[in-house]
Chains A and B, each alone.
Chain A
Amino acid sequence: MADAMEQLYQQVILDHARVRQGEGELADYGGESFQINPTCGDQVTLRVQLDPAGEKIQALGWTGQGCSISQASLSVMHELVIDQPVSRAEELGGYFRELMAARGKELEGTRLEALEDASAFTGVARYPVRIKCALLGWMALRDALVQARGRA
């Protein structure tokens, strides 16, 4: 297979697409978001529960359908933000959006490191249509967090 596909579909992405972290319906939650990608019809429903102080992401669950990029991105996102302060999750979301705007260029050191497995999505940013796939989960998280915090 040509390198282009291996660069896009990094092993990390394929692994996360197969064994997805955080997939499932959350019964107790403070914020929920439904996002759809109208070009391909991919969708996700994401729920988030904060700790009693309203500062940390205590639980996060998502259900939906989508391509390997969107599913892997949701899974990686779950891994990154679970048990993290809301502010950190938002910071990471910012980095990821930055990565998607970078057209395939890597972010500088500390930001790329902070993204951990999510840095595997660097190559996705070379394919404008796929950026939306990678961002689907992060959009849902941002939206759900606004709600959860409003309620906390």
Chain B
Amino acid sequence: MLNPDTVRADFPLLGRTVRGGKPLVYLDSGATAQKPQQVIDAESAFYAQTNAAVHRGAHQIAEEATEAYESSRTVVAEFVGADVDEIVWTKNATEALNLVAYGFLNASLAAAAAPGSPAAEAVSPEARTRYALVPGDEIVVSEAEHHANLVPWQQLAAKTGATLRWIGVTAEGRLDPETYSVIGDRTRVLAITHASNVTGAITDVAALVSRARAVGAYVVLDACQTAAHMPVDLHALDVDFAAFSAHKMVGPTGVGALYGRRELLEDLPPFLTGGSMVEVVTMEATSFMPPPQRFEAGTQMVAQVVGFRAAVEYLRELGMEQVAAHEAAMTQLLLEGIAAVPGVRVLGPQDAADRLAVVAFEVDGVHPHDVGQVLDNAGVAVRVGHHCAQPIHRRLGVHASARASAGVYTTIADIEAFIEGLHEVVRFFATPETPTMQASTVESGKGRV
């Protein structure tokens, strides 16, 4: 079993204090995780010893930098159950998802152009066959998506005339199987989250993949919330594309990855173009490199890639089964602790099964911003707002929420401090005369309104 106290010692930031000497209780790993010394050192050592541009230059340092960059790809690929040439470095998951959506768009633009015209020839015939969308085609997402896996598809639909449809969410905050039937004959893409960053609910990927396969749709998986918290095997999940960000996986900011099945990346038109992704360039035209280089235009974030490798090595060392078991225990404590605070409601599944340690909640009559402020004053860092997922908040009937999320370094003491803070929130804002603030009767402005 993972010992969070030992793990904690690896994370220098967790040793600091906040708000006048209070020990930090960091429960915002769902937004971004803290970094172990191993990751910080890896990035720093790269700059101190190996820094050079990759895939260009014949000198020794360039060779070493290229080796560091490419071997990191092997390690990260293995970590998520992919082959090395199926991993493309991006700046984050958002960019990875856009990369796929823009691939579809570029193919669609070419397919819509006059046959034989330069615009039609701009992408390969295979790309047009696979990826061109026409009016009447459908893109399916869910109401639980983070904006990063919703807005790019909404944009793609608007630009191609395809229709955006969505899987609904139950009152408990899970994808609603009753609405899986929106996946139909015209569905070309199913873009779905592996776990909600609001409710923590883990998606039944297999059920959705089999439906998508039946209608020949591609499956894009947003693995941002799962990749650092449970074992993820993309080949076993049998999805076509997947996206994740290093910064949520105890790795650096500025780097993420797109997974794509090899033959699919082969046919996908490039998103960003420029240096490093080309073969022959004339004044008239350019031929592109095979994937993954085709999708890595310009000078890359090499130090961050190296840090990403160190991060997944760190997680691998802990063991993802152990990580998942530890976090399941934290989920249990969070749910039980919250349930014991009067007037606090969890948004999402109330039991720890098939759910991550990402727990959004609302405090009756107290706005999430005020909840967060009082917790912050106690040294407890949670996220407040809509967590880049407005539609699911709307679905669950709230405007915004507060969210506590755990990680590998979360301890029982962290959860206890958080729950104590929640009691303090309730005490601080409770008034005997007006038990709830938002529901208080509103005096119209001195008779003027």
Chain A residues within 8 Å of B, Cβ to Cβ: 1-2, 4-5, 8-9, 14, 17-26, 39-42, 59-61, 65-69, 71, 78, 82, 127, 130, 133
Whether, in the assembled complex, B30 has its beta carbon less than 8 Å from a beta carbon of chain A, the answer is no
Do the beta carbons of B448 and A82 come within 8 Å of each other?
A: yes
Closest to B376 in A: A127
Question: Could you list 19 A-B pairs, sorted by A, with CB under 8 Å?
Answer: A1-B427, A5-B377, A8-B373, A19-B443, A20-B445, A22-B448, A24-B442, A24-B445, A24-B449, A25-B449, A39-B385, A40-B385, A41-B386, A41-B390, A41-B399, A60-B449, A66-B367, A68-B369, A82-B446
Chain A residues, Cβ within 8 Å of B393: 41
* Contact flag A40-B400 (CB < 8 Å), given A4-B377, A66-B367: yes
Q: How far is the CA of A20 from the CA of B446 in the complex (A)?
A: 10
| Given A17-B437, A40-B368, 7 other A-B residues pairs in contact with their CB atoms under 8 A | A1-B427, A18-B440, A24-B449, A42-B400, A60-B445, A68-B370, A130-B373
Whether, in the assembled complex, B287 has its beta carbon less than 8 Å from a beta carbon of chain A, the answer is no
Do the beta carbons of B445 and A18 come within 8 Å of each other?
A: no
Chain A residues, Cβ within 8 Å of B19: 4
Whether, in the assembled complex, B20 has its beta carbon less than 8 Å from a beta carbon of chain A, the answer is yes
Interchain nearest-CB distance for A62 vs B (Å): 9
Return the 3 tightest CB-CB contacts between A and B, nearest first. A22-B445, A67-B369, A24-B449
Q: How far is the CA of A4 from the CA of B367 in the complex (A)?
A: 18
Do the beta carbons of B384 and A40 come within 8 Å of each other?
A: yes
Closest to B366 in A: A68
Chain B residues, Cβ within 8 Å of A65: 399
Do the beta carbons of B434 and A24 come within 8 Å of each other?
A: no
Do the beta carbons of B377 and A2 come within 8 Å of each other?
A: yes
Do the beta carbons of A67 and B445 come within 8 Å of each other?
A: no
Interchain nearest-CB distance for B148 vs A (Å): 15
Interchain nearest-CB distance for B253 vs A (Å): 19
Q: How far is the CA of A20 from the CA of B441 in the complex (A)?
A: 9
Do the beta carbons of A59 and B448 come within 8 Å of each other?
A: yes
Q: How far is the CA of A14 from the CA of B445 in the complex (A)?
A: 17
Q: How far is the CA of A14 from the CA of B442 in the complex (A)?
A: 14
Interchain nearest-CB distance for B180 vs A (Å): 29
Q: How far is the CA of A17 from the CA of B428 in the complex (A)?
A: 14
Interface bits B363-380 vs A (CB < 8 Å: 1, else 0): 000111110011001100
Interface bits B409-449 vs A (CB < 8 Å: 1, else 0): 00000000000000010011101001001001011111011
Do the beta carbons of A18 and B449 come within 8 Å of each other?
A: no
* Contact flag A23-B373 (CB < 8 Å), given A1-B424, A5-B428, A40-B368: no
* Contact flag A41-B20 (CB < 8 Å), given A18-B440, A22-B445, A82-B446: no
Of the candidates B366, B424, B448, the one having the most CB atoms from chain A within 10 angstroms of its own CB is B448
Interchain nearest-CB distance for B444 vs A (Å): 5
Q: How far is the CA of A68 from the CA of B428 in the complex (A)?
A: 13
Chain B residues, Cβ within 8 Å of A59: 448-449
Do the beta carbons of B431 and A18 come within 8 Å of each other?
A: yes
Q: How far is the CA of A24 from the CA of B373 in the complex (A)?
A: 27
Partner of B449, one of A14, A26, A133: A26
Q: How far is the CA of A9 from the CA of B444 in the complex (A)?
A: 23
Chain A residues, Cβ within 8 Å of B446: 21, 82
Interchain nearest-CB distance for B391 vs A (Å): 12
Q: How far is the CA of A8 from the CA of B393 in the complex (A)?
A: 28
Chain A residues, Cβ within 8 Å of B390: 41
Chain B residues, Cβ within 8 Å of A82: 445-446, 448
* Contact flag A19-B445 (CB < 8 Å), given A40-B368, A42-B369, A67-B370: no
Partner of A127, one of B373, B384, B400, B443: B373
Chain A residues, Cβ within 8 Å of B369: 40, 42, 66-69, 130, 133
Chain B residues, Cβ within 8 Å of A2: 377-378
Partner of B443, one of A9, A20, A39, A71: A20
Chain A residues, Cβ within 8 Å of B429: 14, 68
Of the candidates B385, B434, B445, the one having the most CB atoms from chain A within 10 angstroms of its own CB is B445
Partner of B434, one of A18, A22, A41: A18
Q: How far is the CA of A2 from the CA of B375 in the complex (A)?
A: 11
Interchain nearest-CB distance for A123 vs B (Å): 11
Interchain nearest-CB distance for A70 vs B (Å): 8
Do the beta carbons of B448 and A18 come within 8 Å of each other?
A: no
Do the beta carbons of A5 and B399 come within 8 Å of each other?
A: no
Do the beta carbons of B384 and A20 come within 8 Å of each other?
A: no
Closest to A65 in B: B399
Do the beta carbons of A23 and B442 come within 8 Å of each other?
A: yes
Do the beta carbons of A23 and B374 come within 8 Å of each other?
A: no
Chain A residues, Cβ within 8 Å of B368: 40, 67
Do the beta carbons of B370 and A23 come within 8 Å of each other?
A: no
Query: Which residues between 283 and 317 of chain B lie within 8 Å of chain A, taking CB atoms?
Result: none
Interchain nearest-CB distance for A148 vs B (Å): 15
Interchain nearest-CB distance for A64 vs B (Å): 10
* Contact flag A21-B373 (CB < 8 Å), given A4-B19, A65-B399: no
Partner of B442, one of A5, A20, A26, A42: A20
Do the beta carbons of A18 and B385 come within 8 Å of each other?
A: no
Do the beta carbons of A21 and B445 come within 8 Å of each other?
A: yes
Closest to B390 in A: A41
